[in-house]
Chain A
């Protein structure tokens, strides 16, 4: 294969199409949003061009700060729970026979075809008092009478983990499949029980994969705005819910844009911090 640095303008031609797509579908809308975040709301209509920090000032309040904190906390929890559940699951899946693996992967992929709305309403039925899972516990004699498990934080977390879990498994799967199986066997011949070998050989050997998966699920969960509304109380609403509310129901585009910009900046900062901590640990070992 020819490997030379591009010289003429024509050499750059192959990247023209992706670059164009990136500009049209990312740079333009995102710049528009940043611009709008400095505009003024026009009570009569939409918004009028201006240059004001008022939207950002309004955001810097205890209320919105609290919502931002809650959103990030929720996304972090979803990411951690997803990885905690998906990592051992994916590991066990890779140990199974080829047929079993295919059946599971197809089932997991089919969950991806469900929309957030369907997932939300399905869980709201499952968590309800009249038709929910507590009825099964009552039938099994583990509970005195059926209870409603929603609205509440647990319900929001469960549904969001359910939604993000297939992505987590699909991101972890290729890395875990490629892991040398003799690493685990070597640890066992060196005196580690299977559980111990898993914890101090398999998990650390895949540290980078786990880190990348955590970040992916975190970003994915940060954008969720339907599930907190369907399954949570107002105090469980994320910043994404408030952005939707401002943009669609209050028609306050500039404020919605300011909040969105803030959310993006915060998540970028968090991801950057995580990567920095990760690379520092890498250098040390």
Chain B
């Protein structure tokens, strides 16, 4: 069994269960994003993988070996913290060389490796700078270079980009993904930003209340969410209740009754899949209640018998509706996802 495997891992703090029976296997070279709202246990899970937190039960295996009893400093994992945790008393070069110094790497060798790493993060000639004189993005890169100095087996990042402004964050996401692909290193990033997860990950692990809700590639998570929690957390969606007889928005849908019989409950359809057509020619009759024109996209809120359905379109597709316009809503069945629970 190659790669990282979590087996029934749980963590309890007193009465509170932070991580509840998580099992997951991550093949080598995968970029994993753990995604979830704050307090869902994603950071605790990452800290357990790093060895900073001991699992209450369960085991963590790396290439088939149980690493649960190995202390952090013997695990050979690189980690980037939310606070970055750059050592304030050391300059950029010494920060990056710290893990090399600890391992007793020779001075000349250290210098060579630091130069290589600075080159990798495009900060050539910054070795002598004090950490305090760097910008947010530069600090970020130094923290990444320091974590990668020893070519670790696993690269862990805890909300690494949360301190950066939106534009820089997007640029760093691309940079981080490209770096990971170049090095082919198994990477786990904890984030609460779904765009970040969609940009970088091979595998998105959505967590909620200490459990894994769904672990799948980003597009699958978006197109086929496993439950209402995932559908709601990833992107925006229309969550519609389906009656026991398959009634949707006040209309009986026999085909839905078949699909939802075993699961029952909810149906999700993404706003960009909702079609708005002229009154009288669609599936459901409704009234436009609000229009949010963002320039690039237009969000139209349609009231269908008391339930609001949101549709997103681009200005090219059609002339915008106005609030109060009667409109018909069509939900293409192939785009609808029946959710469990």
Q: Tell me which of A180, A190, A201, A285 contacts B146 (CB under 8 A).
A: A190
Please state if B102 and A186 are interface contacts (CB–CB under 8 Å): no
Report the stretch among B56-64, B83-91, B221-229, B268-276 that lies at the interface. Answer: B83-91
Closest 6 pairs (CB-CB, A-B): A186-B85, A190-B99, A189-B79, A182-B85, A204-B89, A188-B72
A27 contacts the other chain (CB 8 A): no
Find A285's partner among B74, B81, B83, B130 (CB 8 Å cutoff).
B130
- Give A residues with C-beta under 8 Å from B: 180, 182-183, 185-194, 196-197, 201, 204-205, 207, 285
Q: Is B150 an interface residue (CB 8 A)?
A: yes
> In the complex where A187-B98, A196-B102 touch, is A182 in contact with B81 (Cβ < 8 A)?
yes
Task: Give the distance in Å from the alpha carbon of A127 to the alpha carbon of B245 in the complex.
Answer: 90
Choose among B74, B83, B156 the residue that contacts A180 (Cβ–Cβ < 8 A). Answer: B83
In the complex, number of A-B residue pairs with CB atoms less than 8 Å apart: 71
For the complex, is B77 an interface residue (Cβ under 8 Å from A)? yes
Asked whether any CB of chain A lies closer than 8 Å to the CB of B103, the reply is yes
Separation of A107 and B147 alpha carbons in the complex (Å): 42
- B interface residues, how many (CB within 8 angstroms): 31
- The answer to whether B73 has its CB under 8 Å from any CB of chain A is yes
CA distance A285 to B133 in the complex (A): 13
**Given the interface contacts A205-B88, A285-B130, does A189 sit within 8 Å of B50 by beta carbon?**
yes
* Chain A contact residues: helix, strand, loop or mixed: helix
- Rounded to whole angstroms, the CA-CA distance of A180 and B87 in the bound complex is 10
B179 interfacial by beta-carbon distance below 8 Å: no
CA distance A183 to B156 in the complex (A): 16
Kindly provide the distance from the CB of A212 to the nearest chain B CB, expressed in whole angstroms: 16
Give the chain B neighbours of A189 by CB distance below 8 A.
50-52, 72-73, 75, 77-79, 147, 156
Known contacts A182-B85, A183-B85, A205-B87: A188-B52 contact under CB 8 Å:
yes
Q: Write out the residue numbers on chain A whose beta carbons fall within 8 Å of the beta carbon of B71.
A: 188, 193
| Whole-angstrom CA separation of A185 from B83 in the bound complex | 11
